[in-house]
Structure 1
Amino acid sequence: MKRKISEIMDITSELPEECIADIISKTSPPDACRMSLVSQTFSSVAASNFVWEALLPPDHQQIISESVSSSPSLNILSKKDLYFSLCDNPILIGNGNRSFAIHKWSGKKTYMLGARELGVIWGDASQYWKWYSLAESPVLPKSRFSEVAHLVDVCWLYVWGRIETKILSPNTRYGAYLIYTIGDQSHGLDKPVKLLVRFLDEIRCDYINAYLLSRTSMDDAPEDEDARFPRDREDMWMGIEMGEFFNHDQVERVVEMHLRETEVLNWKSGLVIHGIEVRPKDLR
């Protein structure tokens, strides 16, 4: 008797699989994974290409076709496997100085501008900056790009990047993060730097005070409670939030991201820049 009642109450006996798939496709990736535990029918439907095609960015196939690093095997993966592959394994696009990935909890787009994609004052002068490949710098964390920028010695530190909002997910709040590490024999990096994220057509210059060294690694921790500090990442790099912005739907703008220290003007060395990552915020 109980078994018959449970069968009657089972929604899978009331709705065709096409309807269940349509419902799940309008949820989120975490919800789709949770629904796969409801029943065998839900498990099959929640793993279908129909569902995960809807959860992938609409232009994901075009982005993959422009990749310079993706394996041909991406084209034969199921949509669900493709989704999680793009979450865990960013692909290089364009000239190889940018990477694309998917934010696992939302399906939103994430981009990273490699060091070669950034503007670096005196970046082409070897007495100030050096560019290393993985083979030349085996002690550095693994990089997805062919080169990283290593600060030799400057008193005027200024690095910036730009990204067009049209390639990002619409109606999404994004954060921009400087991804870097501190090399051996570094000096002068204990002074505050200025960080800024703004739209190119904005006049505001409300820089944020930040420190490139972690609070625990500094001999004299600063008393500025509003200052930002970096966090260690799972990939062995460090990341510090430069700022945030909201990407409205159908509004094409350019976002600028700045790191500068042009006030103290002390000599600085040892900063190793991986790039700037632009990823969705508060979506987990």
Structure 2
Amino acid sequence: MGVGVSGLSAADSQFETGLNDVPEGCISSIYMFLDPPEICKLARLNRAFRRASLADFVWETKLPSNHRYLVKKVLGQTPDSLCKKETFARLCRPNRFDGGTKEVWLDKQRGKLCLSVSAKALKITGIDDRRYWNHIPTEESRFETVAYLQQIWWFEVVGELEFEFPPGSYSLFFRLHLGKPSRRFGRQMCNVDQVHGWNIKPVRFQLSTSTGQEVSSECYLYDSGKWIYYHVGDFVVTDDSNSPVKIKFSMMQIDCTHTKGGLCVDSVFICPSEFRQMSFD
């Protein structure tokens, strides 16, 4: 009896299977339903899972529909020179273009596109007059520098962007800070002595696109010492938009009955509207 049982166990052991026996095609099919971070974790299990994670058709589903445009414009390469996994990995890094004044990246979790425009790419009234504005270095900006307003009567900031976005709804923000940031003895400081005038009249924000969308809003600037994302408005890119969309945006407070000052203009931030409830910093 004992010999029979032993023989049966030996026979069964010949048909035992493990993760190494799962066909790569099956693994790749499963990957298509997972987020990129989950794929990367599973790829560490063994060689089969790692090889399956390299399949182009897996990462094709994670990339935005405009990824070929991004590779050419942002990475400066031909789309077919990179495998799809490498394309996704490189587009997830912050990539600067247009002389380093703009930065674009993909959200690693969902492959959604985000874009930032530095203050140096904006048209700011009086920016060349040191009596009104200065560019100051700071570690609190992804562009390492911000435009700081000391005092002015006519406040106006205007920007334009022409870019090919994947279809979807997008939100546009101005990233602003009341007070002058600095660092002392290794600690972040904020001087609010020059902050004034923003509680008298609201700032007017405007957004328009080449597809005929327009939106405007007004808001008082608030909370000195904090970086705030002021929502300008939303715009929609439709499925049939296979060409770049031109966007114009602005913020102004041109009531010349009083001066205003003590404001840092860092950048303009564009992200999918579904990200609006997220904490950006």
Could you say whether these structures have the same fold, taking a TM-score greater than 0.5 normalized by the shorter chain as the test?
yes
Matches within 5 A, 1:173-252: 173-182=169-178, 183=180, 184=191, 185=193, 186-191=195-200, 192-200=202-210, 202=212, 204=214, 206-214=215-223, 237-251=227-241, 252=243
1:260 aligns with 2:256: no
Which residue in 1 is equivalent to 2:99?
Answer: 95
Quick one: which of 62, 65, 71 aligns to 1:61? 71
**Other structure's SS at 1:154 match:** coil
1:124 aligns with 2:128: yes
Relative distance call for 1:262 and 1:86 in structure 2 (3 A) is same
Whether the aligned pair in 2 keeps the contact of 1:32 and 1:46 (CA below 8 Å) is no
Q: 1:21-74 CA deviation, whole Å, 9 max, x = no partner?
A: 24523654366468x39x76885367436334542342343345349xxxxxxx
Q: Which amino acid aligns with 1:97?
A: T
Q: Which amino acid aligns with 2:24?
A: E
Q: Which amino acid aligns with 2:269?
A: E
Report the Cα offset of residue 164 of structure 1: 2.2
Relative distance call for 1:65 and 1:106 in structure 2 (3 A) is same
Q: 1:165-197 CA deviation, whole Å, 9 max, x = no partner?
A: 42x2x2221111112322222222234211222
Q: 1:54-111 CA deviation, whole Å, 9 max, x = no partner?
A: 42342343345349xxxxxxx999937x746654x51221211111111233212211
Which residue in 1 is equivalent to 2:32?
Answer: 25
Count of residue pairs brought into register by the alignment: 241
Identity of aligned residues (%): 23
| Alignment RMSD (CA, Å) | 3.8
Which residue in 1 is equivalent to 2:186?
Answer: none
**Other structure's SS at 2:274 match:** coil
Whether the aligned pair in 2 keeps the contact of 1:66 and 1:93 (CA below 8 Å) is no
Larger Rg: 2
Relative distance call for 1:112 and 1:265 in structure 2 (3 A) is farther
Whether the aligned pair in 2 keeps the contact of 1:176 and 1:277 (CA below 8 Å) is yes
Quick one: which of 44, 50, 53 aligns to 2:50? 44
Whether the aligned pair in 1 keeps the contact of 2:20 and 2:46 (CA below 8 Å) is no
Which residue in 2 is equivalent to 1:221?
Answer: none
**Other structure's SS at 2:27 match:** helix
- Flag structure 1 segments of 5+ consecutive residues without an equivalent: 68-74, 135-139, 219-231
Quick one: which of 155, 158, 163 aligns to 1:160? 158
Relative distance call for 1:54 and 1:270 in structure 2 (3 A) is same
Relative distance call for 1:213 and 1:119 in structure 2 (3 A) is same
Whether the aligned pair in 2 keeps the contact of 1:156 and 1:265 (CA below 8 Å) is no
Give, in whole Å, the separation in 2 of the partners of 1:77 and 1:271: 45
Give, in whole Å, the separation in 1 of the partners of 2:268 and 2:217: 16
